[in-house]
């Protein structure tokens, strides 16, 4: 399902996060081998849950502003947002099950 993960930039980051009650943003770098490994995992999760959660990715090599603002130094880093506020983050190489469970647990807990 193409287009499930929205490519965002520093300029449209805030609008994306604030318009979605539940969102996940992947901060990634095209030179990062772990990012390349995690890309299909993230896209698969997005395909399964896109009706409930907005998914995006931000290329840190081209958009340093938000990465610096949020203190993102590990790639990839997945930041979870609820009602426009960061509620959790997970970074590096994680198992598909661990990432999906973290997303579901954090974004659907009270």
* Domain segments of the chain as ranges: 5-108
Strands 5-8 and 77-82: unpaired
DSSP state of 47: H
Identify the CATH assignment for 5-108 out of 1.20.1740.10, 3.40.30.10, 3.30.200.20, 3.40.190.150.
3.40.30.10
Question: Does 109 score more than 80 pLDDT?
Answer: no
Instruction: Determine what percent of the chain is predicted with pLDDT higher than 70.
Output: 96
Question: Does 87 score more than 90 pLDDT?
Answer: yes
Q: What is the mean pLDDT of residues 43-67?
A: 95
Q: What is the mean pLDDT of residues 15-24?
A: 96
Helix (H, G, I), strand (E, B) or coil at 56: strand
Residue 78 half-sphere exposure toward CB, CA atoms < 13 A: 30
């Amino acid at each position: 399902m193409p287009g499930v993960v929205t490519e965002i930039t520093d300029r449209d980051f805030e609008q994306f996060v604030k318009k979605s009650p539940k969102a996940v943003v992947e901060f990634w770098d095209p030179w990062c081998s772990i990012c390349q490994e995690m890309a299909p995992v993230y896209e698969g999760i997005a395909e399964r849950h896109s009706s409930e959660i907005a998914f995006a990715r931000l290329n840190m090599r081209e958009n340093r502003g938000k990465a610096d603002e949020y203190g993102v130094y590990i790639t990839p880093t997945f930041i979870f947002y609820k009602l426009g506020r960061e509620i959790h983050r997970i970074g590096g190489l994680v198992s598909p099950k661990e990432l999906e469970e973290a997303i579901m647990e954090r974004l659907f807990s009270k």
